[in-house]
Amino acid sequence: MEGLAIMTSGGDAAGMNPAVKYSVEYARSLGYKPYLIYDGLRGMIDGNIKEAKPDAVSGIIHRGGTILRSSRSKRFFEYDYRKQAYDNLKKLGITKLIVIGGDGSFRALNDFYHDFKVPFAGIPATIDNDINGTDYCLGVDTALNMIRGNVDSIRDTANSFSRAFVVEVMGRDCGYLAMTTAVTSGAEICLVPELEYDLDRIGNRLRPELENGRNFLIAIVAEGCNMGDYLTRWINDTLNIEARLTILGHIQRGGSPTVRDRLMASKFAVAAVDSLHRGETCNIMVYRSGDFGTLPINRVADSPTPVDPDLIRLCKPLSR
């Protein structure tokens, strides 16, 4: 029986567990012997690999994070460690891999393929939603709902205490989480790396509102702007309303996967197993304009992430 191993790698994201479950179950139904690699690339090097018995993936669909755990491994960049990882797979008869993670993990598996010809299929999973070629990455919907709940709570206290709140959200260099949050939470200000901002114009826009009875403000700032502290002080000093900064941090990565993340995980998983079963070698599963498909890793890793033009249009007025 051919071995097919599943791993999660890079920043954890909700939806990873449902993707693991469906990959295991669908691979088994096609006649593969499924394996689980624990601790990501590090576990592949250290041989932390176990056969996936049916009970290994039962009762995990609702759990956040990843039961396989994850890591970012520097050792995997060195050939000798990749060779060690290959020997571990070979010993167990594993000839195909599914990696659930971000583009850094896909690139690492691509190097591995070029060394040892072990085909892999990538399932995009990162709350940042910054993988080129796919409109959706697992974990994004859960993260957005987590952020929404927190911003709704912050608005309660902002309104009650007549304050401004600057809320910094994750996303690395990508403003997707911040822009979507700003639109869906009715924020007054949104600063993201993709948009030039103009504090003078923001001041001119909001001052009359504050003078006419507005008693609170919500500003959403992407971590990639590195503006949280500065904007908080600027609002406090320039707009004459007491301001506080809330950095949501890693809370955004946790939580039970939403229905959308569970369903997308099941479809990505089936697409990944099918891709390997068809004999494809280095493809990433993508979801574009409502359809599932595959893209070769080079098209995913080597191009910049396009910005959603609708979100840009909606958020531009909030950045000036």
Stretch that binds ligand F6P, among 124-132, 239-247, 275-283, 288-296 (CB under 6 A): 124-132
Is 126 a residue that touches ligand F6P (CB under 6 A)?
A: yes
Is 253 a residue that touches ligand F6P (CB under 6 A)?
A: yes
Stretch that binds ligand F6P, among 114-122, 125-133, 232-240, 296-304 (CB under 6 A): 125-133
| 32's tokens | 């593969």
Name which of residues 195 to 224 contact ligand F6P (CB under 6 A).
223
Taking the complex as a whole, the smallest distance from the CB of residue 108 to ligand F6P amounts, in Å, to: 15
Is 181 a residue that touches ligand F6P (CB under 6 A)?
A: no
Closest CA to 121 of 109, 132, 112, 135: 109
Is 228 a residue that touches ligand F6P (CB under 6 A)?
A: no
Q: Indicate the residue among 25 and 223 with the shorter CB distance to ligand F6P.
A: 223
Separation of alpha carbons 93 and 306, rounded Å: 39
User: For residue 281, how far is the Cα from the chain centroid?
Assistant: 23
Is 69 a residue that touches ligand F6P (CB under 6 A)?
A: no
Is 172 a residue that touches ligand F6P (CB under 6 A)?
A: yes
Chosen residue from 128, 168, 188, 194 binding ligand F6P by CB under 6 A: 128
Taking the complex as a whole, the smallest distance from the CB of residue 14 to ligand F6P amounts, in Å, to: 12
Taking the complex as a whole, the smallest distance from the CB of residue 122 to ligand F6P amounts, in Å, to: 15
Burial letters 97-110, b for 16+ CB under 10 A, else e = bbbbbbbebbbbbb
Taking the complex as a whole, the smallest distance from the CB of residue 177 to ligand F6P amounts, in Å, to: 8
Q: Which residues are catalytic?
A: 128
C-alpha atoms less than 13 angstroms from C-alpha of 71 in its C-beta half-sphere: 16
Containing 104, the helix (H) or strand (E) segment is: helix 103-116
Taking the complex as a whole, the smallest distance from the CB of residue 239 to ligand F6P amounts, in Å, to: 28
Q: Indicate the residue among 3 and 193 with the shorter CB distance to ligand F6P.
A: 193
Is 171 a residue that touches ligand F6P (CB under 6 A)?
A: yes
Separation of alpha carbons 183 and 46, rounded Å: 45
Closest CA to 224 of 167, 166, 172: 172
Stretch that binds ligand F6P, among 34-42, 89-97, 168-176, 275-283 (CB under 6 A): 168-176
Is 108 a residue that touches ligand F6P (CB under 6 A)?
A: no
Is 147 a residue that touches ligand F6P (CB under 6 A)?
A: no
Taking the complex as a whole, the smallest distance from the CB of residue 234 to ligand F6P amounts, in Å, to: 23
Is 42 a residue that touches ligand F6P (CB under 6 A)?
A: no
Nearby residues of 118 by Cβ (< 8 Å), 6 or more positions away: 86, 89, 94, 95, 96, 97, 112
Is 11 a residue that touches ligand F6P (CB under 6 A)?
A: yes
Q: Indicate the residue among 50 and 172 with the shorter CB distance to ligand F6P.
A: 172
Strand partners, 121: 98, 283
Let me know how many helices (H) and strands (E) the chain has, helices first. Answer: 11, 11
Chosen residue from 19, 98, 125, 170 binding ligand F6P by CB under 6 A: 170
Nearby residues of 310 by Cβ (< 8 Å), 6 or more positions away: none
Nearby residues of 130 by Cβ (< 8 Å), 6 or more positions away: 102, 137, 171, 172, 173, 174, 176, 305
Assign 3-class secondary structure to 140-194: HHHHHHHHHHHHHHHHHHHHHHCCEEEEEECCCCCCHHHHHHHHHHCCCEEECCC
Task: Give contact residues for ligand F6P (rule: CB under 6 A).
Answer: 11, 126-128, 170-172, 223, 253
